[in-house]
Structure 1
Protein backbone atom coordinates (compact mmCIF):
# COMPACT_ATOMS: atom_id res chain seq x y z
CA UNK A 1 0.00 0.00 0.00
CA UNK A 2 1.24 3.50 -0.84
CA UNK A 3 2.94 5.14 2.14
CA UNK A 4 0.64 8.15 1.72
CA UNK A 5 -2.39 5.99 2.47
CA UNK A 6 -3.26 5.61 6.15
CA UNK A 7 -4.18 2.02 7.06
CA UNK A 8 -6.81 1.78 9.82
CA UNK A 9 -7.51 -1.86 10.58
CA UNK A 10 -9.82 -1.73 13.60
CA UNK A 11 -12.81 0.20 14.86
CA UNK A 12 -10.87 1.04 18.02
CA UNK A 13 -8.05 2.57 15.99
CA UNK A 14 -10.55 4.66 14.02
CA UNK A 15 -12.21 5.92 17.20
CA UNK A 16 -8.80 6.75 18.64
CA UNK A 17 -7.89 8.74 15.53
CA UNK A 18 -11.12 10.75 15.90
CA UNK A 19 -10.64 11.18 19.64
CA UNK A 20 -13.89 9.51 20.66
CA UNK A 21 -14.75 6.80 23.17
CA UNK A 22 -15.04 3.18 22.03
CA UNK A 23 -18.35 1.75 23.23
CA UNK A 24 -17.93 -1.52 21.34
CA UNK A 25 -14.70 -2.84 19.81
CA UNK A 26 -16.39 -3.96 16.58
CA UNK A 27 -18.84 -1.17 15.77
CA UNK A 28 -19.15 2.59 16.19
CA UNK A 29 -21.69 5.28 15.31
CA UNK A 30 -20.17 8.75 15.12
CA UNK A 31 -21.77 12.17 14.84
CA UNK A 32 -18.94 13.78 12.92
CA UNK A 33 -19.65 17.36 13.99
CA UNK A 34 -18.62 16.34 17.53
CA UNK A 35 -15.12 15.17 16.63
CA UNK A 36 -12.11 17.53 16.73
CA UNK A 37 -10.76 19.22 13.63
CA UNK A 38 -9.18 16.76 11.21
CA UNK A 39 -6.57 16.90 8.47
CA UNK A 40 -7.24 15.50 5.04
CA UNK A 41 -5.75 12.07 4.37
CA UNK A 42 -6.23 9.04 2.17
CA UNK A 43 -7.41 6.09 4.25
CA UNK A 44 -8.06 2.39 3.78
CA UNK A 45 -10.13 0.55 6.37
CA UNK A 46 -10.17 -3.03 7.59
CA UNK A 47 -13.91 -2.72 8.23
CA UNK A 48 -17.15 -1.61 6.56
CA UNK A 49 -17.92 2.11 6.67
CA UNK A 50 -21.01 4.16 5.84
CA UNK A 51 -20.66 7.94 5.68
CA UNK A 52 -23.63 10.32 5.53
CA UNK A 53 -22.65 13.77 4.30
CA UNK A 54 -25.29 15.94 5.88
CA UNK A 55 -24.74 19.30 4.21
CA UNK A 56 -26.10 20.77 1.01
CA UNK A 57 -23.41 21.18 -1.60
CA UNK A 58 -25.28 22.84 -4.46
CA UNK A 59 -26.46 21.15 -7.62
CA UNK A 60 -24.98 17.71 -8.09
CA UNK A 61 -24.01 16.99 -11.68
CA UNK A 62 -24.40 13.43 -12.88
CA UNK A 63 -23.41 12.85 -16.47
CA UNK A 64 -24.78 15.85 -18.35
CA UNK A 65 -27.75 16.44 -16.07
CA UNK A 66 -28.36 18.00 -12.67
CA UNK A 67 -29.64 15.87 -9.84
CA UNK A 68 -32.19 17.32 -7.43
CA UNK A 69 -31.47 15.42 -4.20
CA UNK A 70 -29.17 17.65 -2.17
CA UNK A 71 -29.97 16.92 1.47
CA UNK A 72 -27.44 14.15 1.99
CA UNK A 73 -25.00 11.88 0.24
CA UNK A 74 -24.35 8.35 1.47
CA UNK A 75 -21.07 6.58 0.69
CA UNK A 76 -20.61 2.90 1.55
CA UNK A 77 -17.14 1.34 1.67
CA UNK A 78 -16.05 -2.27 1.98
CA UNK A 79 -12.81 -3.31 3.70
CA UNK A 80 -9.82 -2.52 1.51
CA UNK A 81 -11.28 0.44 -0.39
CA UNK A 82 -9.47 3.79 -0.32
CA UNK A 83 -11.25 7.03 0.52
CA UNK A 84 -10.14 10.59 1.08
CA UNK A 85 -7.79 13.10 -0.53
CA UNK A 86 -4.13 13.95 -0.18
CA UNK A 87 -3.11 15.87 2.93
CA UNK A 88 -2.88 19.56 2.03
CA UNK A 89 -1.83 20.64 5.52
CA UNK A 90 -5.15 22.26 6.36
CA UNK A 91 -7.73 21.17 8.94
CA UNK A 92 -11.48 20.92 8.57
CA UNK A 93 -14.54 20.19 10.67
CA UNK A 94 -16.38 17.12 9.30
CA UNK A 95 -20.17 17.11 9.32
CA UNK A 96 -22.65 14.28 9.07
CA UNK A 97 -22.58 10.75 10.46
CA UNK A 98 -20.47 7.64 10.19
CA UNK A 99 -21.19 3.99 10.92
CA UNK A 100 -18.22 1.63 10.97
CA UNK A 101 -18.39 -2.09 11.74
CA UNK A 102 -15.88 -4.89 11.54
CA UNK A 103 -16.66 -8.10 9.58
CA UNK A 104 -16.17 -10.07 12.82
CA UNK A 105 -19.33 -8.40 14.20
CA UNK A 106 -21.59 -10.05 11.65
CA UNK A 107 -19.93 -13.45 11.16
CA UNK A 108 -22.49 -16.20 11.65
CA UNK A 109 -25.43 -13.77 11.61
CA UNK A 110 -28.18 -13.30 9.06
CA UNK A 111 -26.46 -10.09 7.97
CA UNK A 112 -23.15 -11.85 7.52
CA UNK A 113 -24.77 -14.36 5.19
CA UNK A 114 -26.47 -11.67 3.12
CA UNK A 115 -23.68 -9.06 2.83
CA UNK A 116 -23.02 -10.11 -0.77
CA UNK A 117 -26.50 -8.82 -1.65
CA UNK A 118 -25.50 -5.26 -0.75
CA UNK A 119 -23.47 -4.71 -3.90
CA UNK A 120 -23.33 -0.94 -3.35
CA UNK A 121 -20.39 -1.47 -0.98
CA UNK A 122 -18.31 -1.98 -4.11
CA UNK A 123 -19.56 1.12 -5.91
CA UNK A 124 -17.14 3.95 -6.56
CA UNK A 125 -17.43 7.06 -4.38
CA UNK A 126 -18.66 8.93 -7.47
CA UNK A 127 -21.63 6.52 -7.52
CA UNK A 128 -22.77 7.54 -4.05
CA UNK A 129 -26.39 7.42 -2.94
CA UNK A 130 -28.04 10.84 -3.01
CA UNK A 131 -30.84 11.14 -0.47
CA UNK A 132 -33.98 13.20 -0.19
CA UNK A 133 -34.73 14.94 3.10
CA UNK A 134 -37.11 12.16 4.12
CA UNK A 135 -34.60 9.45 3.24
CA UNK A 136 -31.86 11.24 5.15
CA UNK A 137 -34.04 11.36 8.26
CA UNK A 138 -34.70 7.63 7.99
CA UNK A 139 -30.97 6.91 7.77
CA UNK A 140 -30.24 9.09 10.79
CA UNK A 141 -33.03 7.38 12.74
CA UNK A 142 -31.43 3.99 12.03
CA UNK A 143 -28.03 5.29 13.11
CA UNK A 144 -29.43 6.67 16.36
CA UNK A 145 -31.09 3.35 17.17
CA UNK A 146 -27.82 1.51 16.62
CA UNK A 147 -25.99 4.03 18.81
CA UNK A 148 -28.65 3.67 21.52
CA UNK A 149 -27.99 -0.07 21.58
CA UNK A 150 -24.23 0.60 21.81
CA UNK A 151 -24.86 2.76 24.88
CA UNK A 152 -26.70 -0.14 26.54
CA UNK A 153 -24.54 -2.42 28.71
CA UNK A 154 -23.28 -5.35 26.63
CA UNK A 155 -25.25 -8.56 27.17
CA UNK A 156 -26.01 -11.74 25.23
CA UNK A 157 -28.53 -9.88 23.03
CA UNK A 158 -26.25 -6.99 22.05
CA UNK A 159 -24.53 -8.48 19.01
CA UNK A 160 -27.74 -9.73 17.40
CA UNK A 161 -29.64 -6.49 18.01
CA UNK A 162 -26.81 -4.38 16.62
CA UNK A 163 -26.57 -6.60 13.52
CA UNK A 164 -30.34 -6.36 13.03
CA UNK A 165 -30.11 -2.56 13.21
CA UNK A 166 -27.34 -2.47 10.60
CA UNK A 167 -29.27 -4.87 8.37
CA UNK A 168 -32.32 -2.59 8.48
CA UNK A 169 -30.19 0.38 7.47
CA UNK A 170 -28.69 -1.55 4.55
CA UNK A 171 -32.13 -2.67 3.40
CA UNK A 172 -33.21 0.96 3.30
CA UNK A 173 -30.10 1.72 1.24
CA UNK A 174 -31.16 -0.96 -1.24
CA UNK A 175 -34.56 0.67 -1.55
CA UNK A 176 -33.06 4.13 -1.98
CA UNK A 177 -30.64 2.94 -4.65
CA UNK A 178 -33.51 1.39 -6.58
CA UNK A 179 -35.28 4.74 -6.39
CA UNK A 180 -32.12 6.46 -7.61
CA UNK A 181 -31.89 4.13 -10.61
CA UNK A 182 -35.49 5.02 -11.47
CA UNK A 183 -35.02 8.79 -11.13
CA UNK A 184 -31.96 8.57 -13.36
CA UNK A 185 -33.75 6.52 -16.02
CA UNK A 186 -32.84 8.87 -18.88
CA UNK A 187 -29.18 8.76 -17.90
CA UNK A 188 -29.34 5.00 -17.48
CA UNK A 189 -30.75 4.59 -20.98
CA UNK A 190 -27.81 6.61 -22.27
CA UNK A 191 -25.47 4.17 -20.50
CA UNK A 192 -27.28 1.22 -22.10
CA UNK A 193 -27.02 2.80 -25.54
CA UNK A 194 -23.30 3.31 -25.07
CA UNK A 195 -22.99 -0.27 -23.79
CA UNK A 196 -24.61 -1.62 -26.98
CA UNK A 197 -22.37 0.57 -29.13
CA UNK A 198 -19.31 -0.57 -27.19
CA UNK A 199 -20.13 -4.22 -27.86
CA UNK A 200 -20.81 -3.56 -31.54
CA UNK A 201 -17.46 -1.83 -31.94
CA UNK A 202 -15.67 -4.55 -30.01
CA UNK A 203 -16.95 -7.42 -32.13
CA UNK A 204 -16.61 -5.54 -35.42
CA UNK A 205 -12.84 -5.28 -35.09
CA UNK A 206 -10.09 -7.73 -34.29
CA UNK A 207 -10.01 -7.07 -30.55
CA UNK A 208 -11.67 -10.38 -29.65
CA UNK A 209 -8.92 -12.23 -31.50
CA UNK A 210 -6.23 -10.20 -29.73
CA UNK A 211 -7.77 -9.73 -26.28
CA UNK A 212 -10.43 -12.40 -25.89
CA UNK A 213 -14.07 -12.07 -24.89
CA UNK A 214 -15.19 -8.74 -23.41
CA UNK A 215 -15.89 -8.87 -19.68
CA UNK A 216 -18.34 -6.96 -17.52
CA UNK A 217 -15.37 -5.33 -15.80
CA UNK A 218 -13.96 -4.16 -19.14
CA UNK A 219 -17.31 -2.73 -20.28
CA UNK A 220 -17.90 -0.98 -16.95
CA UNK A 221 -14.44 0.58 -17.11
CA UNK A 222 -15.01 1.85 -20.65
CA UNK A 223 -18.25 3.44 -19.42
CA UNK A 224 -16.50 4.95 -16.36
CA UNK A 225 -18.57 2.93 -13.88
CA UNK A 226 -17.69 0.36 -11.25
CA UNK A 227 -18.59 -3.23 -12.24
CA UNK A 228 -21.15 -3.59 -9.44
CA UNK A 229 -22.93 -0.30 -10.17
CA UNK A 230 -22.93 -1.05 -13.88
CA UNK A 231 -24.27 -4.57 -13.31
CA UNK A 232 -27.02 -3.37 -10.98
CA UNK A 233 -27.99 -0.59 -13.40
CA UNK A 234 -28.27 -2.98 -16.35
CA UNK A 235 -30.25 -5.54 -14.34
CA UNK A 236 -32.60 -2.86 -13.02
CA UNK A 237 -33.23 -1.36 -16.46
CA UNK A 238 -33.52 -4.54 -18.52
CA UNK A 239 -34.12 -7.50 -16.21
CA UNK A 240 -31.03 -9.19 -17.65
CA UNK A 241 -27.50 -9.19 -16.28
CA UNK A 242 -24.67 -7.39 -18.04
CA UNK A 243 -23.07 -10.78 -18.71
CA UNK A 244 -26.28 -11.97 -20.38
CA UNK A 245 -26.23 -8.87 -22.60
CA UNK A 246 -22.66 -9.58 -23.63
CA UNK A 247 -23.53 -13.19 -24.36
CA UNK A 248 -26.60 -12.19 -26.39
CA UNK A 249 -24.61 -9.78 -28.56
CA UNK A 250 -21.87 -12.38 -28.94
CA UNK A 251 -24.28 -15.04 -30.18
CA UNK A 252 -26.06 -12.63 -32.53
CA UNK A 253 -22.69 -11.81 -34.08
CA UNK A 254 -21.80 -15.50 -34.17
CA UNK A 255 -24.98 -16.40 -36.06
CA UNK A 256 -23.99 -14.12 -38.94
CA UNK A 257 -20.44 -15.44 -39.08
CA UNK A 258 -21.39 -19.09 -38.78
CA UNK A 259 -23.47 -18.74 -41.95
CA UNK A 260 -20.41 -17.57 -43.88
CA UNK A 261 -19.00 -20.80 -45.42
CA UNK A 262 -15.64 -19.18 -46.16
CA UNK A 263 -14.66 -19.60 -42.47
CA UNK A 264 -14.54 -22.78 -40.43
CA UNK A 265 -16.38 -22.95 -37.12
CA UNK A 266 -13.02 -22.93 -35.33
CA UNK A 267 -12.00 -19.75 -37.17
CA UNK A 268 -15.28 -18.11 -36.15
CA UNK A 269 -14.69 -19.13 -32.52
CA UNK A 270 -11.16 -17.71 -32.44
CA UNK A 271 -12.26 -14.49 -34.16
CA UNK A 272 -14.93 -13.98 -31.50
CA UNK A 273 -12.43 -14.30 -28.67
CA UNK A 274 -12.80 -17.94 -27.63
CA UNK A 275 -9.60 -19.72 -26.65
CA UNK A 276 -11.10 -23.13 -27.41
CA UNK A 277 -13.66 -23.80 -30.20
CA UNK A 278 -15.47 -26.36 -28.06
CA UNK A 279 -16.33 -23.62 -25.54
CA UNK A 280 -17.89 -21.62 -28.37
CA UNK A 281 -19.88 -24.65 -29.52
CA UNK A 282 -21.13 -25.30 -26.00
CA UNK A 283 -22.31 -21.69 -25.50
CA UNK A 284 -23.85 -21.47 -28.98
CA UNK A 285 -25.92 -24.62 -28.43
CA UNK A 286 -26.96 -23.51 -24.95
CA UNK A 287 -28.42 -20.30 -26.36
CA UNK A 288 -29.78 -21.44 -29.73
CA UNK A 289 -30.46 -25.12 -29.15
CA UNK A 290 -28.25 -25.99 -32.12
CA UNK A 291 -24.54 -26.51 -32.58
CA UNK A 292 -22.80 -24.09 -34.96
CA UNK A 293 -22.58 -26.88 -37.57
CA UNK A 294 -26.31 -27.62 -37.24
CA UNK A 295 -27.12 -23.90 -37.50
CA UNK A 296 -24.99 -23.62 -40.65
CA UNK A 297 -26.54 -26.65 -42.35
CA UNK A 298 -30.12 -26.97 -41.10
CA UNK A 299 -32.04 -30.09 -42.10
Structure 2
Protein backbone atom coordinates (compact mmCIF):
# COMPACT_ATOMS: atom_id res chain seq x y z
CA UNK A 1 0.00 0.00 0.00
CA UNK A 2 1.39 3.42 -0.98
CA UNK A 3 2.50 5.75 1.83
CA UNK A 4 1.77 8.75 -0.37
CA UNK A 5 -0.63 10.99 1.60
CA UNK A 6 -4.13 11.72 0.38
CA UNK A 7 -4.36 15.41 -0.62
CA UNK A 8 -7.19 17.76 0.27
CA UNK A 9 -6.99 21.27 -1.23
CA UNK A 10 -9.50 23.69 0.28
CA UNK A 11 -10.04 26.66 -2.01
CA UNK A 12 -12.68 28.25 0.21
CA UNK A 13 -13.53 28.36 3.91
CA UNK A 14 -16.95 26.90 3.08
CA UNK A 15 -15.26 23.87 1.50
CA UNK A 16 -13.22 23.30 4.67
CA UNK A 17 -16.32 23.50 6.85
CA UNK A 18 -18.18 21.06 4.64
CA UNK A 19 -15.31 18.54 4.52
CA UNK A 20 -14.86 18.65 8.31
CA UNK A 21 -18.58 18.29 8.99
CA UNK A 22 -18.85 21.75 10.51
CA UNK A 23 -21.79 24.11 10.15
CA UNK A 24 -21.71 26.52 7.22
CA UNK A 25 -19.61 29.64 7.99
CA UNK A 26 -21.52 32.87 8.66
CA UNK A 27 -19.11 34.74 6.38
CA UNK A 28 -17.65 33.35 3.15
CA UNK A 29 -14.24 34.96 3.83
CA UNK A 30 -13.92 34.47 7.58
CA UNK A 31 -14.86 31.99 10.30
CA UNK A 32 -14.03 31.09 13.88
CA UNK A 33 -14.83 27.67 15.34
CA UNK A 34 -14.24 26.04 18.71
CA UNK A 35 -12.52 22.64 18.56
CA UNK A 36 -15.30 21.30 20.76
CA UNK A 37 -17.73 21.97 17.88
CA UNK A 38 -15.66 20.15 15.26
CA UNK A 39 -16.68 16.51 14.68
CA UNK A 40 -13.98 14.04 15.72
CA UNK A 41 -11.47 13.54 12.93
CA UNK A 42 -9.97 10.09 12.43
CA UNK A 43 -7.22 9.78 9.86
CA UNK A 44 -7.00 6.23 8.50
CA UNK A 45 -4.07 7.25 6.28
CA UNK A 46 -1.66 10.15 6.00
CA UNK A 47 -3.33 13.33 4.80
CA UNK A 48 -1.87 16.36 3.04
CA UNK A 49 -3.90 19.52 3.69
CA UNK A 50 -3.62 22.71 1.65
CA UNK A 51 -5.84 25.77 2.03
CA UNK A 52 -6.03 29.03 0.10
CA UNK A 53 -6.49 31.10 3.26
CA UNK A 54 -4.78 31.94 6.54
CA UNK A 55 -5.44 29.71 9.54
CA UNK A 56 -4.59 30.31 13.20
CA UNK A 57 -5.19 27.55 15.72
CA UNK A 58 -5.02 27.52 19.50
CA UNK A 59 -4.85 23.94 20.78
CA UNK A 60 -5.52 23.34 24.47
CA UNK A 61 -4.82 20.15 26.44
CA UNK A 62 -2.99 18.88 23.37
CA UNK A 63 -2.33 15.12 23.80
CA UNK A 64 1.17 15.15 22.37
CA UNK A 65 4.74 16.32 22.70
CA UNK A 66 6.08 19.23 20.72
CA UNK A 67 9.54 19.47 19.22
CA UNK A 68 11.16 22.89 19.50
CA UNK A 69 14.04 22.90 17.03
CA UNK A 70 15.94 19.73 17.88
CA UNK A 71 14.57 19.41 21.41
CA UNK A 72 11.26 17.77 22.48
CA UNK A 73 9.15 19.46 25.17
CA UNK A 74 6.12 18.39 27.18
CA UNK A 75 3.57 21.11 27.81
CA UNK A 76 0.23 21.50 29.53
CA UNK A 77 -0.74 24.93 28.23
CA UNK A 78 -1.91 26.11 24.82
CA UNK A 79 -0.13 25.84 21.51
CA UNK A 80 -0.53 28.38 18.70
CA UNK A 81 0.08 27.38 15.06
CA UNK A 82 -0.18 29.78 12.12
CA UNK A 83 -0.58 28.71 8.50
CA UNK A 84 -0.24 30.89 5.41
CA UNK A 85 -2.24 30.28 2.20
CA UNK A 86 -0.91 27.32 0.17
CA UNK A 87 1.12 26.05 3.13
CA UNK A 88 1.14 22.25 3.29
CA UNK A 89 0.28 20.40 6.50
CA UNK A 90 0.62 16.66 6.99
CA UNK A 91 -1.71 14.71 9.30
CA UNK A 92 -0.31 11.34 10.31
CA UNK A 93 -2.40 8.21 10.73
CA UNK A 94 -2.04 8.34 14.53
CA UNK A 95 -3.23 11.96 14.65
CA UNK A 96 -5.16 12.89 17.79
CA UNK A 97 -7.10 16.11 17.74
CA UNK A 98 -6.86 18.44 20.73
CA UNK A 99 -10.09 18.25 22.76
CA UNK A 100 -10.48 22.01 22.99
CA UNK A 101 -9.22 25.15 21.32
CA UNK A 102 -9.97 27.49 18.43
CA UNK A 103 -9.70 27.48 14.65
CA UNK A 104 -9.60 30.87 12.93
CA UNK A 105 -9.81 30.96 9.11
CA UNK A 106 -9.17 34.21 7.22
CA UNK A 107 -9.28 34.56 3.45
CA UNK A 108 -6.77 37.12 2.07
CA UNK A 109 -9.68 38.98 0.43
CA UNK A 110 -11.15 39.66 3.89
CA UNK A 111 -8.06 41.77 4.68
CA UNK A 112 -7.53 43.18 1.19
CA UNK A 113 -8.20 46.92 1.72
CA UNK A 114 -6.77 47.06 5.25
CA UNK A 115 -3.13 47.65 6.37
CA UNK A 116 -3.16 44.18 7.98
CA UNK A 117 -3.25 42.72 4.45
CA UNK A 118 0.39 43.79 4.02
CA UNK A 119 1.47 43.44 7.64
CA UNK A 120 0.47 39.77 7.85
CA UNK A 121 2.83 38.98 4.93
CA UNK A 122 5.79 40.24 6.99
CA UNK A 123 5.12 37.97 9.99
CA UNK A 124 7.68 35.20 9.76
CA UNK A 125 5.83 32.71 11.96
CA UNK A 126 3.34 32.03 9.16
CA UNK A 127 6.25 30.31 7.38
CA UNK A 128 7.24 28.14 10.33
CA UNK A 129 6.75 24.39 10.34
CA UNK A 130 4.12 22.74 12.53
CA UNK A 131 6.78 21.52 14.97
CA UNK A 132 7.89 25.13 15.48
CA UNK A 133 4.60 26.14 17.09
CA UNK A 134 4.27 28.75 19.82
CA UNK A 135 3.99 27.18 23.28
CA UNK A 136 2.06 29.51 25.58
CA UNK A 137 2.44 30.11 29.30
CA UNK A 138 -0.72 30.17 31.40
CA UNK A 139 -0.90 33.98 31.38
CA UNK A 140 -0.20 34.15 27.65
CA UNK A 141 -2.92 31.63 26.92
CA UNK A 142 -5.38 33.69 28.95
CA UNK A 143 -4.56 36.83 26.95
CA UNK A 144 -4.82 34.98 23.64
CA UNK A 145 -8.10 33.31 24.59
CA UNK A 146 -9.64 36.66 25.49
CA UNK A 147 -8.95 37.86 21.95
CA UNK A 148 -10.42 34.68 20.41
CA UNK A 149 -13.52 35.18 22.56
CA UNK A 150 -13.89 38.77 21.37
CA UNK A 151 -13.55 37.65 17.75
CA UNK A 152 -16.15 34.94 18.28
CA UNK A 153 -18.52 37.41 19.94
CA UNK A 154 -18.27 39.78 16.98
CA UNK A 155 -18.56 36.92 14.48
CA UNK A 156 -21.87 35.79 16.01
CA UNK A 157 -23.41 39.26 15.96
CA UNK A 158 -25.52 40.41 12.99
CA UNK A 159 -23.23 41.91 10.34
CA UNK A 160 -23.19 45.70 10.11
CA UNK A 161 -20.94 48.36 8.59
CA UNK A 162 -18.39 48.00 11.41
CA UNK A 163 -18.17 44.19 11.72
CA UNK A 164 -15.20 43.66 9.40
CA UNK A 165 -13.22 46.55 10.84
CA UNK A 166 -13.75 45.37 14.43
CA UNK A 167 -12.83 41.76 13.62
CA UNK A 168 -9.68 42.82 11.76
CA UNK A 169 -8.65 45.00 14.73
CA UNK A 170 -8.92 41.93 16.97
CA UNK A 171 -6.95 39.79 14.49
CA UNK A 172 -4.25 42.46 14.42
CA UNK A 173 -4.06 42.35 18.23
CA UNK A 174 -3.93 38.53 18.18
CA UNK A 175 -1.01 38.56 15.75
CA UNK A 176 0.80 41.20 17.81
CA UNK A 177 0.52 38.92 20.84
CA UNK A 178 1.84 36.00 18.77
CA UNK A 179 4.82 38.07 17.63
CA UNK A 180 5.58 39.11 21.20
CA UNK A 181 5.29 35.60 22.62
CA UNK A 182 7.42 34.05 19.86
CA UNK A 183 10.21 36.45 20.75
CA UNK A 184 9.78 35.44 24.39
CA UNK A 185 10.00 31.78 23.40
CA UNK A 186 13.30 32.33 21.58
CA UNK A 187 14.70 33.81 24.79
CA UNK A 188 13.28 31.34 27.34
CA UNK A 189 14.28 28.30 25.26
CA UNK A 190 17.88 29.49 25.18
CA UNK A 191 19.32 26.06 25.97
CA UNK A 192 17.77 24.76 22.76
CA UNK A 193 18.79 27.81 20.75
CA UNK A 194 22.38 27.66 22.02
CA UNK A 195 22.51 24.04 20.89
CA UNK A 196 21.05 25.15 17.57
CA UNK A 197 23.80 27.76 17.11
CA UNK A 198 26.42 25.13 17.91
CA UNK A 199 24.95 22.81 15.26
CA UNK A 200 24.85 25.61 12.67
CA UNK A 201 28.50 26.44 13.30
CA UNK A 202 29.41 22.75 13.15
CA UNK A 203 27.69 22.40 9.75
CA UNK A 204 29.42 25.50 8.39
CA UNK A 205 32.84 24.48 9.67
CA UNK A 206 32.42 21.07 8.05
CA UNK A 207 31.28 22.67 4.80
CA UNK A 208 34.19 25.07 4.54
CA UNK A 209 36.74 22.48 5.66
CA UNK A 210 35.77 20.28 2.72
CA UNK A 211 38.14 21.19 -0.12
CA UNK A 212 36.09 19.30 -2.71
CA UNK A 213 34.06 20.99 -5.42
CA UNK A 214 30.88 22.54 -4.01
CA UNK A 215 28.61 25.57 -4.17
CA UNK A 216 28.20 28.14 -1.42
CA UNK A 217 26.13 26.97 1.57
CA UNK A 218 22.64 28.44 1.71
CA UNK A 219 20.15 29.21 4.47
CA UNK A 220 17.84 26.58 2.97
CA UNK A 221 20.59 23.93 3.12
CA UNK A 222 21.24 24.62 6.82
CA UNK A 223 17.53 24.62 7.64
CA UNK A 224 17.05 21.31 5.84
CA UNK A 225 19.96 19.73 7.71
CA UNK A 226 18.45 20.87 11.03
CA UNK A 227 14.88 19.92 10.05
CA UNK A 228 13.68 23.50 10.45
CA UNK A 229 11.98 26.01 8.19
CA UNK A 230 14.43 28.63 6.79
CA UNK A 231 12.43 31.49 8.30
CA UNK A 232 12.28 29.93 11.77
CA UNK A 233 16.03 29.23 11.73
CA UNK A 234 16.80 32.78 10.66
CA UNK A 235 14.51 34.33 13.29
CA UNK A 236 15.98 32.11 15.99
CA UNK A 237 19.56 33.02 15.06
CA UNK A 238 18.60 36.69 14.82
CA UNK A 239 17.28 36.61 18.39
CA UNK A 240 20.35 34.75 19.65
CA UNK A 241 23.19 36.43 17.72
CA UNK A 242 21.70 39.53 16.09
CA UNK A 243 22.45 37.99 12.69
CA UNK A 244 20.27 36.25 10.12
CA UNK A 245 21.30 32.85 8.75
CA UNK A 246 22.72 34.48 5.62
CA UNK A 247 24.75 36.98 7.66
CA UNK A 248 26.12 34.16 9.81
CA UNK A 249 27.09 32.20 6.68
CA UNK A 250 28.98 35.24 5.37
CA UNK A 251 30.71 35.75 8.72
CA UNK A 252 31.93 32.14 8.83
CA UNK A 253 32.92 32.28 5.18
CA UNK A 254 35.06 35.38 5.71
CA UNK A 255 36.70 33.89 8.81
CA UNK A 256 37.59 30.75 6.87
CA UNK A 257 38.85 32.82 3.95
CA UNK A 258 41.13 34.75 6.30
CA UNK A 259 42.60 31.48 7.58
CA UNK A 260 43.34 30.28 4.05
CA UNK A 261 44.79 33.64 3.00
CA UNK A 262 47.21 33.70 5.94
CA UNK A 263 48.23 30.03 6.04
CA UNK A 264 48.47 28.98 2.37
CA UNK A 265 49.90 30.22 -0.91
CA UNK A 266 46.68 29.59 -2.84
CA UNK A 267 45.72 32.34 -5.26
CA UNK A 268 42.59 34.42 -4.64
CA UNK A 269 40.88 32.58 -7.51
CA UNK A 270 41.75 29.17 -6.06
CA UNK A 271 40.44 30.24 -2.65
CA UNK A 272 37.23 31.54 -4.22
CA UNK A 273 36.59 28.26 -6.03
CA UNK A 274 37.43 26.23 -2.92
CA UNK A 275 34.90 28.20 -0.89
CA UNK A 276 32.20 27.61 -3.48
CA UNK A 277 32.15 30.85 -5.49
CA UNK A 278 31.46 30.55 -9.18
CA UNK A 279 33.33 33.77 -9.92
CA UNK A 280 36.44 34.99 -8.03
CA UNK A 281 35.22 38.59 -8.46
CA UNK A 282 32.18 37.79 -6.32
CA UNK A 283 34.44 36.51 -3.53
CA UNK A 284 36.68 39.59 -3.69
CA UNK A 285 33.66 41.90 -3.62
CA UNK A 286 32.13 40.19 -0.58
CA UNK A 287 35.48 40.08 1.23
CA UNK A 288 36.08 43.80 0.71
CA UNK A 289 32.51 44.62 1.70
CA UNK A 290 32.95 42.78 5.01
CA UNK A 291 36.55 43.75 5.85
CA UNK A 292 37.21 47.00 3.94
CA UNK A 293 40.23 45.25 2.40
CA UNK A 294 40.74 43.19 -0.74
CA UNK A 295 41.87 39.58 -0.18
CA UNK A 296 45.33 40.49 -1.56
CA UNK A 297 45.67 43.50 0.75
CA UNK A 298 44.59 41.41 3.75
CA UNK A 299 47.20 38.75 2.93
CA UNK A 300 49.94 41.35 2.47
CA UNK A 301 49.19 42.86 5.89
CA UNK A 302 50.53 39.64 7.43
CA UNK A 303 53.85 39.71 5.60
For 1:134, the equivalent position in structure 2 comes to 139
Q: Which moved more, 1:90-99 or 1:134-143?
A: 90-99
Using a 3 Å threshold, how does the CA distance of structure 1 residues 220 and 258 change in structure 2: closer, same or farther? Answer: same
Using a 3 Å threshold, how does the CA distance of structure 1 residues 218 and 60 change in structure 2: closer, same or farther? Answer: closer
What are the equivalent positions in structure 2 for 1:26-45 lying under 5 Å apart?
26-40=29-43, 41-45=47-51
Using a 3 Å threshold, how does the CA distance of structure 1 residues 63 and 177 change in structure 2: closer, same or farther? Answer: closer
Using a 3 Å threshold, how does the CA distance of structure 1 residues 135 and 68 change in structure 2: closer, same or farther? Answer: farther
> Deviations along 1:116-153, whole A, 9 cap, x unmatched?
33211111111111112222222221112112222233
TM-score (ref. length: structure 1): 0.90
RMSD: 2.5
Pick one of 221, 226, 240 that aligns with 2:243: 240
- Is 1:280 the counterpart of 2:283? The answer is yes
What are the equivalent positions in structure 2 for 1:99-248 lying under 5 Å apart?
99-206=104-211, 209-210=213-214, 212-248=215-251
SS in 2 for 1:96: strand
Residue 29 of structure 1 and its aligned partner are, at CA, apart by: 0.5
Pick one of 270, 273, 278 that aligns with 1:270: 273
Residue 272 of structure 1 and its aligned partner are, at CA, apart by: 0.7
SS in 1 for 2:80: strand
Query: How far, CA to CA, are the matches of 1:291 and 1:92 in structure 2?
Result: 58
Residue 99 of structure 1 and its aligned partner are, at CA, apart by: 0.5
> Deviations along 1:270-292, whole A, 9 cap, x unmatched?
11111111111111110110111
What are the equivalent positions in structure 2 for 1:50-69 lying under 5 Å apart?
50-57=56-63, 62=68, 67=73, 69=75
Residue 47 of structure 1 and its aligned partner are, at CA, apart by: 0.8
SS in 1 for 2:58: strand
SS in 2 for 1:39: coil
Q: Unpaired segments of 5 or more residues in structure 2?
A: none
Residue 58 of structure 1 and its aligned partner are, at CA, apart by: 6.6
Residue 182 of structure 1 and its aligned partner are, at CA, apart by: 1.6
SS in 2 for 1:25: coil
Q: Which moved more, 1:24-33 or 1:38-47?
A: 38-47
User: Do 1:37 and 1:93's aligned partners in 2 also have CA atoms closer than 8 Å?
Assistant: no
User: Do 2:8 and 2:49's aligned partners in 1 also have CA atoms closer than 8 Å?
Assistant: yes
For 1:20, the equivalent position in structure 2 comes to 23
Query: How far, CA to CA, are the matches of 2:99 and 2:207 in structure 1?
Result: 45
For 2:6, the equivalent position in structure 1 comes to 4
Q: Unpaired segments of 5 or more residues in structure 1?
A: none
Q: Which moved more, 1:125-134 or 1:242-251?
A: 125-134
User: Do 1:192 and 1:234's aligned partners in 2 also have CA atoms closer than 8 Å?
Assistant: yes
Query: How far, CA to CA, are the matches of 1:58 and 1:39 in structure 2?
Result: 16
Using a 3 Å threshold, how does the CA distance of structure 1 residues 79 and 65 change in structure 2: closer, same or farther? Answer: closer
